Structure 1
Amino acid sequence: MVSSPPLPMLRSPWSLRAVRAEGTDLDLVHGWMQQPHVEAFWHQAWSRDRWANEISEQLAGEHSLPVLVSYENSPLAYAELYRVQRDRIAEYYAYGPYDLGIHIAIGEQKRTGQGLGTQMLRVLAEGMLDADPGCRRVVAEPDVLNEVSIKAFHAAGFRPAGEVILPDKTAALVVHPRTEEDML
């Protein structure tokens, strides 16, 4: 059985750490999920208690690892790093046993549109590949209606691999391969 998603090390000025299911971390994630630009695509404007449970369950399991991504020591985004084989996206493409995936949201609207998302996605993909030498590709599945996100993924080196119809959205499957041979 493949291990849980590893916690990657990111190159400065980027950093990340596992989210805590309490205190300031919980307040931050809960608040970000209430923001219209996040809620429009995540659909998780849940209560603080529900977010505490969600984060606790993720931290206790092997499917995904919830993290805060910071730029210059300031939290910028919430992300969930996951093993594709344990995720619903596994039903939609021929995944490798160590493939990793990412769900990500920049929390504050005012920090979008500055190129930070593209930089962050590139650094995250590289960090995830470095953290797990068996991983051949990092994938994501942004909503096809989220054109800004898709553009950032492409600019960060993720390549289009088709569309998938998920229960709650039509997604653009994007792939950041380790090598050309690792592309779908």
Structure 2
Amino acid sequence: MSGTAALTFTFRPLDPLKDAELLHRWVTHPKAAYWMMQDARLEDVERAYREIAADEHHHALLGLGEDGGPAFLMEYYDPVHRELVGLYEPEPGDVGMHFLTPATDTPVHGFTRAVITAVVARLFEDPAARRIVVEPDVHNTAVHALNEAVGFVPVGEIEKPEKKALLSFCTRERFEKAVSV
């Protein structure tokens, strides 16, 4: 992972009220089309993240850069109860995940790969997490490549109400092997 070793992140719980304007800018930007909130109003974003904050099976964190400022959004969920209910056979220790890096006029080479690496590492800090589950849009080839770079293996397409998704899994062992290269 040359070029990204210097990028380190910390995490804090997302505050639906305090962070709503920032999130609104991020999720409504044209480059965040796969987030499916392009037409969301500020109130819609605030409501969506208040619902997540109140949900015991879904969580949102902000990834913070070295300067302490917000750098990306991370969500994780229990796929037994959210997102993938009835769409695959969950195993004990499965954790669903989403992440969003905001659009920028000054891209940093390797940033998004450093983000997904940090997100997956954060999830595997929990010893109960055995497998990370993702379900990006089948057309989002950029995120498919990032997922594979950190150890995700696609297992097939699934039909979600809002999209056709590529179901992929990453075990702790595959992640450790992928990021140690």
In the superposition, the TM-score normalised over structure 2's length comes to: 0.83
**Contact map agreement 1:106 1:112 (CA 8 A) in 2:** no
Once the two structures are aligned, what percentage of the paired residues are identical?
Answer: 26
Q: Distance in 1 between matches of 2:105 and 2:131?
A: 31
4+ residue runs over 3 A deviation: 109-113
Give the 5 Å matches for 1:1-184. 13-23=8-18, 25-38=19-32, 40-45=33-38, 46-72=40-66, 73-110=68-105, 114-131=109-126, 133-179=127-173
1:113 CA drift (Å):
7.1
Structure with a larger share of its residues in helix? 1
CA RMSD, Structure 1 to Structure 2 (Å): 1.9
In 2: Cα distance, 1:51 partner to 1:93 partner: 28
Residues in 2 aligned to 1:111 and 1:96: alpha-carbon distance in whole angstroms: 40
Task: Give 1:129's aligned amino acid.
Answer: F
Match of 1:86, SS state, is coil
Using structure 1 for the length normalisation, give the TM-score.
0.82
Paired amino acid for 1:71 = G
Task: State the 1:64 CA deviation.
Answer: 0.7
User: Cα gap change, 1:138/1:53 in structure 2, threshold over 3 Å: closer, same or farther?
Assistant: same
Inter-partner Cα distance in structure 2 for 1:148 and 1:110 = 18
- Specify whether residues 111 and 69 from structure 1 end up closer, same or farther in structure 2 by C-alpha distance, changes over 3 A only: farther
Report the Cα distance in structure 2 between the residues aligned to 1:121 and 1:146, rounded to whole angstroms: 15
2: CA distance between counterparts of 1:148 and 1:115?
Answer: 13
1:91 CA drift (Å): 1.8
- Across the two proteins, how many residue pairs are aligned to each other? 166
